[in-house]
Amino acid sequence: MNESISRLRELVRRFVRQPIAATLLILLLLMLVFSLMSDRFLTWENIQNVTRTSSSVIIVGCAVTLVMVARGLDLSVGSILAACSVLAAILASTGTNLVVAYLAALGLGLAIGALNGTLVVGFKVTPIIATLGTLNIARGIAYLITPSAILVGLPPAWSAIGTSSALGIPLPVLVAVLFIAAFSWLLNRTVFGRYVYAIGGNEETARLAGVNVKRVLFLLYLISGGAAGVAAILLSSRLGSGDPNIGIGFEFQVIVAVILGGTSLAGGEGRISGTVLGALIVGFLANGLNLIGVQSFWQYVAQGAALIVAVILDRFARNNRAAPRSRGLSGTKSLGSSK
């Protein structure tokens, strides 16, 4: 009996030490609170709605996680989403085959991602400045290529991807699951993933070890732009329109989800599973506030507070990890001096 209790305690200790443990506990606590406040919260229909809405954040968040693990940042994903959305919509409205329209949207996302990579890697522009600039460029493109505020009257097949389900699971959620699996494998099971962690840990050391840092960083921004293109197709299909105003604040949701998921602002640490939990926290938080009748403006307050809390937790976590190392170093120095 005592041995079983000891094993249980050890399992609990190991769980608590996991980087995503706090994120999971926050999500469960959030769901518990809202389920007590609204009887509509824990229904299958509502869970489907939240996961469908969160799928775009998860898809882009997977790519942005890699960027931030490598100590980068991409603020342009919301505007890329808008530009890709209206490009696909305007092509579809003129009779272009939907597959071609979607491929064009994906191509635009990749092109802007390549521009980000060129600015950061080729011209050594700080990521926050480079992607802040392309944020405005992409949003401007979205407004320039739309003859009206919102493109409607699209072919009936336009909404198929965003509203269809398979085995009771929304198609956007299935796409998000594929992204989760693919990016988890990429980050944790491939040489490329090890390079990403190495660059985030110490870029110069990674370079001296033979890592092609420039190529890896360029590919990360390229992938981020492509992921935003995929999210644009799914989201605009679900909404049934092409809207240049879509994605305003989207980049903030993605960054909140990534940081809540345990990806360090200092780089070198982060997991796709944590980002998924962070995206669900953002989704369930907004959904729960809507269900209990809280004004939508308070969602901005809640998301901002969540970001601040996540940053503070990240700082505490890094300080706690640094403390044992510093104690070990001081102990080593003491031993050396005693000789």
Lowest mean pLDDT among 128-137, 238-247, 330-339: 330-339
Confidence at residue 323, expressed as pLDDT on a 0 to 100 scale: 55
Confidence at residue 290, expressed as pLDDT on a 0 to 100 scale: 93
**Phi then psi dihedrals of residue 244, to 5 deg:** -65, -15
User: Which of 150-154, 229-233, 261-265 is modeled with the greatest confidence?
Assistant: 229-233
Domain ranges of the chain: 23-311
The pLDDT of residue 332 is above 70: no
Cite the DSSP H helix spans in 240-296. 250-260, 272-291
Structure tokens at 326: 């510093």
What is the amino acid identity at position 264?
Answer: S
Higher per-residue confidence, 230 vs 3: 230
The pLDDT of residue 326 is above 60: no
Confidence at residue 149, expressed as pLDDT on a 0 to 100 scale: 72
**Phi then psi dihedrals of residue 50, to 5 deg:** -65, -45
Lowest mean pLDDT among 105-114, 140-149, 317-326, 330-339: 330-339
**Phi then psi dihedrals of residue 152, to 5 deg:** -125, -175
| Closest to 193 measured CA to CA, from 184, 205, 180, 204 | 184
The pLDDT of residue 335 is above 70: no
Confidence at residue 318, expressed as pLDDT on a 0 to 100 scale: 65
Higher per-residue confidence, 24 vs 129: 129
Residue range 189-219, pLDDT digits in tens: 999 999 999 999 999 999 999 999 999 999 9
Mean pLDDT of the chain: 89
- For the chain, what's the residue count? 339
- Check whether domain 23-311 has CATH 1.10.645.10, yes or no: no
Residue range 12-21, pLDDT digits in tens: 566 555 667 7
DSSP string, 169-226: EEHHHHHHHHHHHHHHHHHHHSHHHHHHHHHHH-HHHHHHTT--HHHHHHHHHHHHHH
Structure tokens at 245: 């105003």
Residue range 161-196, pLDDT digits in tens: 999 998 889 999 999 999 999 999 999 999 999 999
Percent helix, strand, coil in the chain, to 5, is: 80, 0, 20
| Closest to 222 measured CA to CA, from 88, 63, 57 | 63
Q: What is the Cα–Cα distance from 68 to 262, expressed in whole angstroms?
A: 11
The pLDDT of residue 279 is above 80: yes
Mean pLDDT calculated for residue range 279-283: 95
CB 217 within 8 A of CB 199: yes
Confidence at residue 133, expressed as pLDDT on a 0 to 100 scale: 97
Confidence at residue 10, expressed as pLDDT on a 0 to 100 scale: 67
What is the amino acid identity at position 41?
Answer: F
The pLDDT of residue 302 is above 90: no
CA atoms within a 13 Å half-sphere pointing along the CA-CB vector of 49? 14
Confidence at residue 333, expressed as pLDDT on a 0 to 100 scale: 45
- Could you tell me the pLDDT band of residue 303, with boundaries at 50, 70 and 90? confident
Confidence at residue 300, expressed as pLDDT on a 0 to 100 scale: 84
| Closest to 269 measured CA to CA, from 185, 202, 329, 337 | 202
The pLDDT of residue 288 is above 50: yes
- Could you tell me the pLDDT band of residue 147, with boundaries at 50, 70 and 90? low
- Could you tell me the pLDDT band of residue 151, with boundaries at 50, 70 and 90? confident
- The total of other beta-carbon atoms located within 10 Å of residue 201's CB is 16
Helix (H, G, I), strand (E, B) or coil at 263: coil
The pLDDT of residue 230 is above 60: yes
Q: What is the Cα–Cα distance from 40 to 287, expressed in whole angstroms?
A: 11
User: Which of 236-250, 293-307, 314-328 is modeled with the greatest confidence?
Assistant: 236-250
Confidence at residue 7, expressed as pLDDT on a 0 to 100 scale: 72
Confidence at residue 334, expressed as pLDDT on a 0 to 100 scale: 43
The pLDDT of residue 328 is above 60: no
| Closest to 155 measured CA to CA, from 79, 198, 85, 96 | 96
